Chains A and B, each alone.
Chain A
Amino acid sequence: MNAVTYAAKDFKSDVKPVWCPGCGDYAVLSSITKAFADLGLKPHETSVVSGIGCSSRIPAYTNTYGFHSIHGRALAVGQGLKLARPDLTVLVAGGDGDGFSIGGNHFLHACRRNVDLTYIVMDNRVYGMTKGQPSPTTESDWDASAMAPPGGTGMTPFHPLAIALAAGANFIARGFSGDPNGTAEIIAEAIRHPGFSFVAIMSPCITFREEQREWKETMRKVGMEPTTDSAQAARRLMTDDGYNCGVLYRGNRVSYGKDKIASAAVSDLDAEFTL
């Protein structure tokens, strides 16, 4: 009997995305399903978990076991799932507000914990679903939206890659939705790499950040030099302008979690309490 193989389209569902025309997330969806297919995964043994926001609608657009959870908590749901079911391939996906603002604490600890899953953040530097507020990655002086304070927030943008590195993520990369094939390759490598893999994907929101159309010109498809040395990775990030794509860091930490092996029957637990 031939083993069944699945194409990228087999990982997509029939549900029509709610995204605006021109949204970068369509391409990210394609990159994810292409990566799944390229890795020879099966839809029913793959899970996509998300939080809340435009990009977090992504699980329903796949034909995998999806979980569209609550704002900021996707990494918690995803880690619980992977620890309970190490046999599944778990991919957690969401946006910059979901992952770095309301979910910021979970992001730090997911990097530290190093559960073997892949976390994709579709970063558009804006809250799209609520129509244009600044997010943690928004430039401090951005005030093009009526939702932003005049002169911008004055807050330093969150540096996801640097923070992931400092917090202990085992694989760190940046992709661009305008390069779906390159991004698919990065995602596939992230999934293959053991431990917590973080992929920031620059994915423009042309509805609330028209100027992000220019990313097509400014993003460099290659430019990030991979290293296994975290000190070197840190130095590279200090001179990085945020427009280089590719893999930055491949760590060699052992994944969190032990094999689930029972050494006792439930009834054996009574002995501790029996007189």
Chain B
Amino acid sequence: MCGSGGAGVMTAANMFLDAAAEAGFYALFGRSSGPQIRGGEAAALVRLGADPITSVDDTFDIMLAIDWQGVQRFAAELPLSKSSIVICDPAAGEVPEVYVKTGARIVHLPMKDLAKTIPGGRPNMIALGAVAALIGFPVAPLTEVLGKSLKKKRADAFEASVAGVKAGAEAAATLGESKKLAAPKAKDVKRWTITGNYGTGLGAIRGGVRFCAAYPITPATEVLEYLSSALPKVGGVFVQAEDELASVNMCIGASYGGEASITSTAGPGLSLMIEGLGLSMASETPVVVVDVQRVGPSTGIATKCEQSDLNIAVYGLHGDAPHLVVAPNSIGDCIFTTQWGVYLAEALQSPCIVLSDQALGQSRGIIDAPADVAFVGKRLQAVAPAEGEVFKRYANTASGISPMPVPGQEGCQYTADGLEHTETGTPTSQASDHDMQLDKRQRKLTSFDYGSHWATIEGEGDIAVITWGSCTGAAREAVERARADGVNAKLISLRLISPTRPEHLDAALKGVKKILVVEQSHLGQFTRYLRGEYDLPVKPEQLSRPGPLPMRPGEIHARLLSMGK
């Protein structure tokens, strides 16, 4: 569904999703918009189905254009086929050539004129009714949703909207077109509706976070938006900082005080936070930084997705600075992976970067209710030393994890420091002290038991598809389609990016004859990372491209079929 700014595309699409949720469907709703703050064209990209949906599809069945203003800018993001239907308003003028060329059937629906026949009527409600009718969607849940969102505001707006939806549905029924959807099976299955960014915020709180300082930035702002209202409810603190430097350092201060802390940002903000991450790493003060990746470098394309912050997340710190990097691979997994990231950061007294991305963060899904897992951040508590002995904050323990006191605890006072230090925390420039602390800080990360969560592994086959982040959904669907075609592949989506798990990946790749790496980066950062950090059994093939276009299942499927020959 697309149209110019103010046409109400996003409003209609959100109502549509609410109704689909009521009716028992699963859905994935991504948004595409230009850089404008308000106004300017927008497209709501919705995939709906009776079964869980984790990926965008190859093409859209229905394109509903309320008007054509600026809409051709989305052409590459709105792939159509000969079996697609384009519904548009004749009053909006000629259909742009780029859509005509797809061979899709063009169907006219006078949305503007129909809206005029209803007092207070709006074309977006006509569109909503039309789409619902085309897919055989019942009107009752739509009316219910309209009631919920509009009745409180204005009764006349509610009536106008209901009349609009009805008029749209009736008009669509006369078009002779149909894209009937299978009836939902999931009515009695517990489902949620959530965006990845809200999921990240919820996961943080589940993991024990009670402090967040953050600075607004697209496409990470919704994490801040969620935490600013949710944290105070659970006795936590939210601060809007003056910049990203302040954000990360406020979090480090709060964490030093004993509170698990998080901040959220996107590429340019992560660049600024790197300095603070080094302090967190060297002073062993845990902090979690969520990076909702967008198209880079520099300001790039702020509203769209790319997986190109891998290098800075893994290698961006100066000095020898091993740290945690984790990546969620679905909307629901934003909850789990952030929660797990908080748990790991607290257990290992390390910075943890959660590499989400715009396609996960800003998409709204109707998903199966996520499990409530038991990962809650907990630090190794310190005990005050015996009389006359000095407390060793950076004690060189076997695990590499040193007991960490909470200010207020008597007898454990120490000075946290970014300067290299001895076991007691006293600054030092001696080689032996540096070696000891470097070994200790690396050891705690590499010797920790991360369990099975280091990757999502599905299926068996001669081919392994290795991917991460939002590409996982498309890769999963491609693997399923290939299996139906007799080509068996195994999906490996890395959740723990740093530290690496060489023995685990070796085991997962046992018997695999070919590897396909799928990622959304021009440089092929993930492929380079895999080849640099792991000893892969075969040279991998690479399927990658930069943002903003998402990887689609069809192209991965096609590559799998050719690899399987």
Contacts and interface: CB of A to CB of B under 8 A. Distances in A.
Contacts of B242: 105-106, 108-109
A44 B192 contact: no
Contacts of A273: 192-194, 198, 202
B233 A68 contact: no
A78 B407 CA distance: 13
Contact of A83 (B250, B408, B413): B250
B258 A68 contact: no
A72 B276 CA distance: 11
A226 B219 CA distance: 48
Nearest to B199: A273
Secondary structure at chain B's binding surface: helix, strand, loop or mixed? mixed
B235 A80 contact: no
Contacts of A42: 410
B224 to A, nearest CB: 15
Given A84-B211, A106-B242, A269-B230, A70 B249 contact: yes
Given A65-B407, A109-B242, A44 B412 contact: yes
* Most chain A CB within a 10 A radius of its CB, from B206, B246, B275: B246
Nearest to A109: B242
A144 B409 CA distance: 48
Nearest to A64: B413
Interface residues of B, number: 64
Contacts of A78: 253
A87 B241 contact: no
B182 interface: no
Interface stretch (A185-193, A197-205, A211-219, A257-265): A257-265
A23 interface: no
Interface residues of A, number: 52
B249 A60 contact: no
A70 B413 contact: no
A17 B482 CA distance: 68
A70 B418 contact: yes
A47 interface: yes
Contacts of A80: 211, 213, 239, 249-257, 261
Contacts of B413: 43-44, 63-66
Contacts of B198: 273
Interface in B197-234: 198, 202, 205-206, 210-211, 213, 230, 232-234
Interface in B412-426: 412-419, 425-426
A77 B245 CA distance: 10
Interface string B457-496: 0000000000000000000000000000000000000000
Given A66-B416, A81-B257, A83-B254, A44 B249 contact: no
A94 interface: no
B191 interface: yes
B38 interface: no
A267 B246 CA distance: 30
Nearest to B418: A70
Given A43-B413, A44-B413, A88 B236 contact: no
A53 interface: no
Residue among B193, B253, B366, B407 with the highest chain A CB neighbour number at 10 A: B253
A266 interface: yes
Interface in B297-347: none
Contacts of B409: 44
B148 to A, nearest CB: 13
A76 B235 CA distance: 21
Contacts of B206: 266
A88 B253 contact: no
Nearest to A76: B249
B510 interface: no
Nearest to B234: A262
Contact of A77 (B250, B412, B427): B250
B91 interface: no
B411 to A, nearest CB: 7
Contacts of A267: 372
A67 interface: yes
Contacts of A230: none
A68 B418 contact: yes
Contacts of B261: 80, 84
B205 A266 contact: yes
Contacts of B416: 66-69
Nearest to A267: B372
16 contacts: A66-B414, A70-B418, A73-B245, A77-B252, A80-B254, A80-B255, A80-B256, A84-B259, A85-B258, A105-B245, A108-B242, A268-B233, A269-B233, A273-B193, A275-B21, A275-B193
Interface of A: 15, 42-45, 47, 49, 57, 59-60, 63-70, 72-73, 76-85, 87-88, 105-106, 108-109, 257-258, 260-270, 273-275
Interface of B: 21-22, 190-194, 198, 202, 205-206, 210-211, 213, 230, 232-237, 239, 241-243, 245-247, 249-259, 261, 275-276, 278-279, 283, 366, 369, 372, 407-419, 425-427
